[in-house]
Amino acid sequence: MAELTVNVVSAERALWSGPAKSVVAKTPEGEIGILAGHEPVLALLVEGPLRIEQPDGSKLLVAVHGGFFSMANNEVQVIAEVAELAADINLERAKEALARAQAAGVEDENAAARRAETRIAVAAAASAAR
């Protein structure tokens, strides 16, 4: 079975690169799932989890906060404004950030609340998968 080659980078650093069976990302239109042989795609990413299924069946979760997603010739490029691997997310700090954002209740903090909610969801999903 053909595989994808996936690269995930943020403005700060390269996060992950490797082979994958599938990738699922969140776009403004909803989730998009990619398998080997998919037609070329270029899409915006919104806050949400990026799910990568590796060839051995294990799942890699990444909290993505905006960016771009492209697929061509079985190569997936994820260029995120901000992204964190699930393993790098401190769940307690994310919960504290969410509480601060909700307490502030201002428009700019809504973006902070969405980031914190995404981080919590990704970290919780990764913990449940273990």
Strand pairing class (59-72; 30-35): unpaired
Residue 54: Cβ within 10 Å count? 15
| pLDDT tens digits along 80-130 | 999 999 999 988 898 888 888 888 765 555 788 888 889 889 988 887 776
Domains of the chain: 4-86 (2.60.15.10), 90-129 (no CATH)
The tokens describing 28, both together, are 């403004």
pTM of the model: 0.86
What is the predicted pLDDT for the residue at 10?
Answer: 95
How would you label 13-31 residue by residue, b for 16+ Cβ within 10 Å and e otherwise? Answer: eebbeeebbbbebbeeeee
What is the predicted pLDDT for the residue at 126?
Answer: 84
What is the predicted pLDDT for the residue at 80?
Answer: 97
Q: Which residue has the higher pLDDT, 6 or 128?
A: 6
| pLDDT tens digits along 26-75 | 999 999 999 999 999 999 999 999 999 999 999 999 999 999 999 999 99
Backbone angles phi, psi at 125, to 5 degrees: -65, -40
What is the predicted pLDDT for the residue at 85?
Answer: 95
